[in-house]
């Protein structure tokens, strides 16, 4: 008797999906930055698969070069090959090359990091980042990191300047109950905050009590004055109060965000 499709897989009951492929991605997603090396049993548990399926998936991924066996152990780890899939997509974006010098110019005595993010569904994806040589921030944000748009200054800077239909789609797709501390409790509260962002031109997130960090973000606008991305700067809260931080970095941040918007328009 054939085995039924795995209901836990995305679209598990949809006959139009290749469920073995979905399971393969679940195996890849089992590896994390915190635990980059895993035993087969650990992969199986995280991916929600039986041992036999996990064994075949891992050996297939090893043969394809996406997973490698850790020498001298029974553990597996990801290779750099999965990065190629993401970076091939990012590499097509001229935005990254244009943004790089802009972000570097925003890192200095006050700001320890500057980032460029774009909206992907209901998330912000960081596609470029610059930081000081010694970073003392309490968060780990890298190129490719994702964060709910409703939960971040960079997300608010984008959402505040979206066409209404696009904003409504993001709000419907967002989980306010999982967004974390300091996030508006629902769509209407978020809309009120976004109105303030539109008025000020920047969005501030003060996480001094959570991770000791303050972030200010500004939208990168197209010719229609809609956000296509946002630039943010981050600094430890111990250096300046929220008001002092915003006063110190707001003008250069707006200037560089506008500069990037013009450069993108010129580049087509």
7 belongs to a structural domain = no
Residues 160 and 226 in one domain: yes
Residues spanned by the domain of 35: 19-79
Give the pLDDT of residue 183. 75
List the pLDDT tens digit at each of the 268 positions of the chain: 344 444 444 444 577 888 899 999 999 999 988 889 999 999 999 999 999 999 999 999 999 999 999 999 999 999 988 877 776 655 555 788 888 888 988 887 677 789 999 999 899 999 998 887 545 555 667 888 888 999 889 999 999 999 999 999 999 888 887 656 667 788 898 999 999 999 999 999 886 555 678 889 999 998 889 999 999 998 887 878 888 888 888 999 999 999 888 888 776 6
SS3 17: coil
Per the domain annotation, does 206 fall within a domain?
yes
**Is the residue at 8 inside a domain?**
no
Same domain membership, residue 246 and residue 185 = yes
Same domain? 125 vs 251: yes
**Structural domains counted in the chain:** 2
Domain boundary at 28, 44, 79, which? 79
With tokens 């984008």, the residue in question is 158
CB atoms within 10 A of CB 2: 4
Q: Are residues 175 and 262 in the same domain?
A: yes
> Which pLDDT belongs to residue 245?
85
Same domain, 53 and 158: no
- Report yes or no on 258 lying in a domain: yes
Distance CA 218, CA 197 (A): 9
Q: For position 5, what pLDDT does the model report?
A: 43
Shared-domain flag, residues 140 and 157: yes
In CATH, what number is assigned to the domain containing residue 31?
1.10.10.10
130 shares its domain with 48: no
Same domain for 256 and 239, yes or no, is: yes
| Residue 260 lies inside a defined structural domain of this protein | yes
Closest CA to 232 of 111, 63, 119, 66: 111
Looking at the fold, whether 101 and 44 belong to one and the same domain comes out as no
Neighbouring CB atoms inside 10 A of 236's CB total: 19
Tell which residue, 74, 5, 9, has the closest CA to residue 39.
Answer: 74
Please tell me the predicted confidence (pLDDT) of residue 238.
Answer: 80
Whether 252 is in a domain gets the answer yes
| pLDDT for position 200 | 92
CATH number of the domain at 224, please: 3.30.450.40
**Residue 109 · residue 252 · CB < 8 Å:** no
- Distance CA(58)–CA(204), nearest Å, equals 44
Residue 37 has a pLDDT of: 95
Do residues 121 and 247 both lie within one domain? yes
Examine the domain organization and report whether 95 and 69 are in the same domain.
no
Q: Which stretches within the chain are classed as H helix?
A: 19-29, 40-47, 51-64, 81-91, 94-106, 153-159, 164-173, 187-200, 242-267
13 falls within a domain: no
- Are the CB atoms for 111 and 239 separated by under 8 Å? no
Judgement on whether residues 94 and 64 belong to the same structural domain of the protein: no
| Whole-Å CA distances, 173 to 25, 131, 150, 187, 245 | 23, 31, 10, 11, 32
Domain final residue pick, 35, 60, 79: 79
């Amino acid at each position: 008797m054939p085995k039924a499709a795995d209901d836990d897989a995305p679209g598990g009951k949809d006959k139009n999906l290749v469920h073995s492929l979905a399971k393969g991605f679940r195996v890849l997603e089992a590896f994390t930055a915190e635990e980059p090396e895993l035993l087969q049993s650990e992969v199986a548990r995280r991916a929600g698969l039986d041992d036999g399926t996990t064994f075949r998936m891992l050996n297939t991924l090893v043969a394809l070069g996406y997973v490698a066996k850790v020498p001298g152990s029974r553990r597996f780890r990801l290779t750099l090959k999965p990065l190629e899939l993401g970076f091939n997509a990012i590499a097509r974006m001229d935005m990254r090359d244009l943004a790089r010098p802009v972000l570097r110019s925003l890192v200095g005595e006050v700001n320890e990091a500057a980032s460029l993010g774009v909206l992907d569904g209901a998330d912000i994806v960081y596609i470029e980042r610059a930081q000081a040589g010694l970073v003392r921030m309490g968060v780990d944000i890298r190129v490719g990191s994702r964060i709910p748009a409703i939960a971040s200054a960079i997300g608010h800077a984008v959402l505040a300047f979206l066409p209404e239909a696009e904003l409504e789609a993001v709000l419907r797709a967002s989980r306010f109950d999982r967004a974390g501390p300091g996030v508006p409790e629902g769509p209407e509260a978020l809309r009120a905050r976004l109105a303030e962002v539109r008025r000020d031109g920047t969005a501030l997130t003060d996480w001094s009590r959570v991770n000791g960090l303050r972030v200010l973000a500004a939208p990168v606008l197209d010719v229609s004055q809609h956000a296509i991305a946002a630039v943010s700067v981050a600094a430890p809260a111990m250096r300046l109060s929220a008001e002092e931080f915003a006063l110190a970095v707001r003008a250069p941040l707006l200037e560089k965000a506008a500069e990037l918007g013009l450069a993108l328009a010129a580049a087509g």
